[in-house]
A and B are shown apart, each in its own frame.
Chain A
Amino acid sequence: MAITISSHPAEVITNAPEFTVTTSLTEGASQQNLRIRATVYIGGVDEAVAVLEQPKGLDDWDFFKLLKSLTGKCNEAVGGSDIHVQPGISAELLSSWTAQLGDFTTFSSTGRKINSAISSGGFGPDYAKSNDLGSAALGEMFIVAVENDFVDSGTEKAQIALSSDSTGFGAIPRVNYAGMISGELNNNHIYFFLVTAATSTPTLWVGNDDPDTNFSGTFSVHKITDFKDNPGIYFQVKFSEVYENASDVTIVTGTKSADTLLFMPVSVRPGETFSQYLITGSGKKFLSRAEDGDTLYKHDIGMELRLMYVSVAAYMTARVAVDAGTNIEADISNLGWGILVMNSEGGFTYNPDSDDQSIIFQIDAVINGGSSIYTGAVATVLCEMNCYADIKALSFIGDLGEETVIFRGLYTENGGAEKSYWKNQNRIRKVLNAYKKKVEILRTLYETEGIRRLIHQLTYTEKDVWMFNSDFEDNYREVTVLTDSVVIEDKRTLLETDIEVEYYE
């Protein structure tokens, strides 16, 4: 009996968490009501978050809606000083390697680097084992970076596993990462390990179950310490065969784990693929504002621009180039997703001093081992210096993640109340209950094709929407977009488009 995961996402980051899972078991008297169970774990939660079952024959699984319902807005408060927001990470956990198993004819290492691991002949597994990585509680996430110098010329390609066993590699529970691209580790690539079975002595193993390996390279291991309310979700699915046996006892067997993946709750436009947003090489896009290509930043108190990206690269650089020529850069230990932030108050501050000054936001994956080749995503931001009364911004989760749309200000404001009445002895209505609320109608500040799409997304977003207003105590207030249709006949009508929002005051 065996479970086969015959189809799964092609990369470790995906917006389509879909699997095809089959079982070799057959329905019969001793295997009644045969079904496959999917137990879903996500990073930061110390137990399963969902258990689903489908009878044999329904082999396709799609976890998009389930996982999307578990996502949230990045809980990093606006106005902070960070240039870059990403999940919180631990210090480097990897410090050394040893040849734990195998017939290595050559094995040497220096710190995090395996200088050479060559095995030839013999039989059985050949693995290098890391130092004890500390502890691994249920729901904790390890991120392993295979750095740029990794080379694998062996007949049997190196694979990685997170193991709970510090001494052997036999009948031990281990999280195997079987989903390496092209069956082998990529250099400058990150891999995820969600802990679904706690252990006190986790170790990372690199090698192969068969001899004839020949690899070298530097690795890095971090643990995530803050998931930032899961704008992206690290998840792992365990598939099991479940049936009632001849005695009508429920049997759960043949459990097989899919690889840990990072789910991003985004829907790409028709004609595009999610890989166009994975920053690994040239021509890639930021997630948010990706449809626009460039965007507008209104310098105002509390206003903040966030650009979200996803990448599988280990080496990253965040870079902001002002057209005046100033570059601000930050090296990033990539954890899969991150957000570049610009505001008027924080450490990474740029206060434009003229209209239409441009700033280039850039996230670069470093390739070919060099530090000078930047080929990642680029977004140009135009700065708006005009003065508007009551500038407003709506921040929401759109098709491609967190977005911010600037509105030129208040168009109409309705201070309203929701009331219920009773009639007194004079037959006049008296207020029984009254709740105050406010309805505002906003109009857009500028017109682009991307803005049109964002306005449309605003009308159907299922997630919460926040409105920036410097009058609010913390600048932002949760609102509901009441508008459910947008009609734009020509470019000018976009500037006259009304967006009606409601909020409690």
Chain B
Amino acid sequence: MSDMQLYIGSDLLDFNGKVNVKRQVADYTDLSLGGTVTSYTIDVPLTMGNKPKLGYIEDVRSRVEVTEQARLVANGMEIIRGKLRILRANTEKCVIIIEGNDWISDISGISIKDLSWAGGDEHEFTSANILASWTAAAGAFYRYPLINFGGLISGDHGLSGSDLFPYDFYMGWHIETIITKILLDAGYTLDTSGFFASTFGRSLYLFSDPKPALDDFISGKELAVSVTNNSDNSDTTFLGIGASGGVNITKVLDINTKTTDEGNDWSIANDRYTVPADGTYRFQAQIKIDSDMNNGDGTVYTVTLNSLTWSIRNNSSPIFSYSNTGNNLFDTGNSFTLDTGYIYLEAGDHIDIYVNAVCQGTNISGVGQNADIFIIQGTISSFFTALWSEHNLWPGVGQTISPSKYLPDMDSIDLLKGLKEAFNLRFWVDRNNKKVYCETSDDFYGSTVIDWTDKIDYSSLPGLEVIASKYEINQKFRWKPSDGDKAYDNFVASSGVPFEKELILESEYAKAGLRDNENLALAATVLGDMPQIGHFSQSKIPRIFGGNEFVGSGYYYPPFRSKEWGPRIMEWKGMVALTKGDFDYFDDFEDTSGTNYTTFPSMETPDMNDVFDDFMVKDWNRIEKNKIVTCELVLTPAEIMKFMTVVGTAANEGFRATYKMNIEGVEMYFMVGSIITDGNRVKAVLIQKL
């Protein structure tokens, strides 16, 4: 007699059957398989009462789809709840299944960059943020590690003290935050005490694949403009004998000569550059100022004030400014330059140069005469130019770095699978509380022991399966190859696959052959020297090289950053000592007081040998030595319920407890891999634990 009720929403269906539901957290015959919660097929009679509840599915004209959740209740206990899937129907019955793991389909097919990232998840590409990321507390959403991408922006190469700028860095994203967002978007929360709350779990970052601008961006934008006439930016005033007064230039620099303007972006009428497209720009400007009111002509004027403030502006707001005072400031031939470095601008921004030059003094020449000041004309004296190179393809200062753009275009489920494979994780979903528990295998199975000896139903004999027979003798564990990464390829050619763990099973029952357990989604980054900063023969710094030829002998790195590499997993190590070499870090090209670093912001790909020792060795010992026991059990509703939802303490019950059973006089300890239940009897797949 069936004691099952089938509900759609709160509607009870006419149903008198018996259905099994499978709940699985791990399959030790194939560790790559994860959790499953689904019912077996259910034959629902199409009674008059059931037809409307099932959307008149037997009528081919019906377009009604049932959207409410289905629930199967046995002995007053819900054994599965989830998405109703109608497979087929005829006039008498409808065949359905209930999927309790619909959270996986909820996140499947959604790229991590398309999650519901909001403004608070973004940051600005600034020197301050890059520096802050080096020392931010655990769990920081982004960090900018030192990666050897090839030639430095500064072009420096040497034993030590090379200059690094913000533009030399690229970001990695905090994996725990991404996982939390994936689950949140699917309506689930990540339990706060699991793998990602551990020190190691929190230190994992997904280093972004490159998102450079298209090469077209740096073509057709050459710009070189200059001051046409001295009089265009000048001031004159007459000072009588002994008179005091001054001249000044306070204006947007009048530039009327276009030497080059490929994009026709400079307006002579408005003396400004209109940014043609969003992207990273670099401008240099120089002005040369002359005035007869300076100490060099001290027999004519007594100078009381010479001052200069000038800036390159964006929409009238200074981007970079220079200010100075001094009686010799305007001696003939004195020139002043500004370099914006790589800044991010948006289409329509207006870039101009604003000058405020002031000379004040007293005429001591004994004759009245004109005092003047002017900006010297000419393409080599006072000019404004745009600089273009490969570096303009990368983020510029001021750019908003949003996860929706800079995270890899990676399917959420692929990231979860990649992490699950890498760290031997177990995911268990408490659907009632919409909470996902993620633990390493070692932590997932708790030490709380529950005795199931009296629960075994010997109506069918417990079956034993040798786990090792499912596995090849040779097992290799490796990260995904780093496609398009010449540094990786070179490493493989010279030293073999990096971070690879090789395991040879000792079990006589293992199959002949090799299984390559290559990570589905996450690539490795090799370590090496960084001669650009004098880091030789230590091989501590991750490197990612593109296909460009190396710079040359001794300069065994490409001149520019690669534009292709796959997303890769990295562990944040903090600021690590550079035992050889050092570097000076500058905020920008106008920064003259750089900070010397003998440590560097370090991220490394976890070595599979360490990962194996930390997260897999126990399971692989079980695979080698232990057995799977399949047996039938009779459990109370309260006991079965603990495989569905957290009832008391998550770590001590359901799939996470350790079960003791005395089988034929032998006491053994087990973990539960899966259960199939109709609410009364349970067929359990148990993995011998000890």
- Residue numbers of A with Cβ under 8 A of B are 33, 37, 45-58, 62-66, 69-70, 242, 244, 247-250, 252
Contacts and interface: CB of A to CB of B under 8 A. Distances in A.
Interface of B: 7, 9-10, 69, 71, 75-78, 81, 184-187, 189, 432-435, 636-638, 641, 645-649
15 contacts: A47-B648, A50-B637, A50-B638, A51-B641, A51-B646, A53-B432, A55-B10, A55-B71, A64-B76, A65-B76, A66-B75, A69-B637, A242-B432, A247-B184, A250-B435
Contacts of B78: 52-53
B76 A244 contact: no
A55 B636 CA distance: 23
Contacts of A55: 7, 9-10, 69, 71
A250 B430 CA distance: 11
Contact of B76 (A66, A250, A252): A66
B647 A250 contact: no
A51 B432 contact: yes
A55 B70 CA distance: 11
A247 B181 CA distance: 12
B637 A66 contact: yes
Q: Which 3 A-B pairs have the closest CB atoms?
A: A47-B648, A57-B10, A248-B187
> Do most interface residues of chain B lie in helix, strand or loop, or is the interface mixed?
loop
Contacts of A45: 648
A369 B241 CA distance: 125
B634 to A, nearest CB: 11
B648 A70 contact: no
A66 B638 contact: yes
B647 A244 contact: no
A53 B82 CA distance: 13
A186 B645 CA distance: 40
Given A51-B432, A55-B10, A248 B641 contact: no
A459 to B, nearest CB: 16
Nearest to A34: B10
Nearest to A42: B638
A371 to B, nearest CB: 43
A128 B318 CA distance: 73
A37 B432 CA distance: 9
Contacts of B81: 53
Contacts of B9: 55, 57
Nearest to B76: A65
Contacts of B184: 247-249
Given A37-B432, A57-B10, A47 B77 contact: no
B69 A49 contact: no
Given A51-B641, A53-B78, A70-B638, 5 more contacts: A49-B647, A52-B78, A55-B7, A58-B7, A249-B187
A46 B647 CA distance: 11
A249 B641 contact: no
A40 to B, nearest CB: 8
Given A49-B647, A50-B638, A244-B434, A56 B76 contact: no
B197 to A, nearest CB: 19
B608 to A, nearest CB: 36
Contact of A56 (B7, B10, B187): B10
Given A250-B187, A250-B433, A52 B648 contact: no
A346 B9 CA distance: 58
B432 A48 contact: no
Contacts of A64: 76
Given A56-B10, A69-B638, A63 B76 contact: yes
Contact of A69 (B69, B71, B636): B636
A47 B637 contact: no
Contacts of B638: 49-50, 66, 69-70
Which of A55, A63, A64, A242 has the most chain B CB atoms inside 10 A of its CB?
Answer: A55
B636 A70 contact: yes
Contacts of B646: 51
Contacts of B432: 37, 51, 53, 242
Contacts of B71: 55
A99 B537 CA distance: 81
B476 to A, nearest CB: 40
Given A48-B647, A52-B77, A69-B636, A58 B10 contact: yes
A64 B3 CA distance: 14
A64 B637 CA distance: 11
A45 B187 CA distance: 32
B76 A249 contact: no
A66 to B, nearest CB: 5
A51 B647 contact: yes
Contact of A49 (B76, B187, B435, B648): B648
A46 B648 CA distance: 8
Nearest to B435: A250
B637 A33 contact: no
Contacts of A70: 636, 638
B637 A65 contact: yes
B186 A248 contact: yes
Contact of A250 (B77, B185, B189, B649): B189
Nearest to A70: B638
A50 B69 CA distance: 21
A66 B77 CA distance: 8
Contacts of A37: 432
A247 B641 CA distance: 28
A45 B528 CA distance: 58
A155 B76 CA distance: 43
A238 to B, nearest CB: 13
Contacts of A50: 77, 637-638, 641, 647
A492 B344 CA distance: 104
Contacts of A69: 75, 636-638
Contacts of A33: 69
A8 to B, nearest CB: 17
B76 A52 contact: yes
A26 to B, nearest CB: 13
A53 to B, nearest CB: 6
B303 to A, nearest CB: 67
Contacts of A63: 76
A309 to B, nearest CB: 26
Nearest to A49: B638
Nearest to B9: A55
B635 to A, nearest CB: 9
Nearest to B11: A57
A376 B660 CA distance: 47
**Centre residue among B77, B636, B638 by max chain A CB count within 10 A:** B638
Contacts of B75: 65-66, 69
Nearest to A33: B69
A47 B649 contact: yes
Contacts of B10: 54-58
Contact of A47 (B76, B185, B645, B647): B647
A66 B640 CA distance: 11
A434 to B, nearest CB: 13
Contacts of B435: 250
Nearest to B10: A57
Contacts of A58: 7, 10
Given A48-B648, A50-B647, A55-B9, A250 B637 contact: no
A22 to B, nearest CB: 12
A160 B649 CA distance: 31
Contacts of B187: 244, 248-250
Contacts of B649: 47
A116 B649 CA distance: 45
Contact of A249 (B7, B69, B77, B189): B189
B645 A250 contact: no
A315 to B, nearest CB: 35
Contacts of B7: 55, 58
Nearest to B81: A53
A244 B71 CA distance: 17
Nearest to A244: B187
A182 to B, nearest CB: 31
B502 to A, nearest CB: 43
A57 B9 CA distance: 9
Given A57-B10, A65-B76, A69-B637, A51 B189 contact: no
